[in-house]
Amino acid sequence: MKPIGHRSQSQLVLAVAAAMTLEACASMTYTSGVPYCATPPPPPIPVSYALVEYRAGEIAEMPKVEVNQTDAYKTNRTAYKSVAIHVPDDCLQTSRPGEKQTLLSASCGAYFSELEKAFTKFNYRVFSWDALRGIERQKNLAPDAAGKELGADVVIVFNRLDVATVDAAGGGAGPSFKYFVSDDHGARGVPLAVDDATQTTFREFAKAHAVAVDAKGIVALGSTVDATALATSGGEPVWFYRGTVTKPLPSSSGMRFLFGRKSSVEGVRGAEPWTPATPQVPESASSPSAQGRVDDARTAGGVAGPHATEKLDLIRDVARDFVTKFQNGEK
DSSP state string for 136-191 = HHHHT--HHHHHHHHT-SEEEEEEEEEEEEEETTTTT-EEEEEEEEE-TT----SB
The dihedral over CA atoms of 120, 124, 126, 132, expressed in degrees to the nearest 10, equals -150
In the prediction, which pLDDT does 95 show? Answer: 60
Q: Are 147 and 248 found together in one domain?
A: yes
Q: Are 196 and 290 found together in one domain?
A: yes
Q: Are 175 and 236 found together in one domain?
A: yes
Q: Name the pLDDT band for 53 (thresholds 50, 70, 90).
A: confident
Q: Are 153 and 11 found together in one domain?
A: no
Most confident of 20-34, 39-53, 93-107, 203-217: 39-53
> 109-123, 148-162, 201-215: which range is least confident on average?
201-215
Q: What is residue 24's DSSP assignment?
A: T
Q: Are 18 and 65 found together in one domain?
A: no
Nearest to 280 by CA among 63, 99, 73, 52: 52
Q: Name the pLDDT band for 57 (thresholds 50, 70, 90).
A: low
Q: Are 35 and 59 found together in one domain?
A: no
pTM strictly above 0.85 = no
Q: Are 10 and 135 found together in one domain?
A: no
Q: Are 191 and 278 found together in one domain?
A: yes
What residues make up the domain containing 26? 1-41
Q: Are 23 and 116 found together in one domain?
A: no
Give me the number of domains the chain comprises: 2
pLDDT of residue 290 exceeding 50, the answer is: no
Q: Are 169 and 267 found together in one domain?
A: yes
Q: Are 12 and 110 found together in one domain?
A: no
Q: Are 139 and 288 found together in one domain?
A: yes
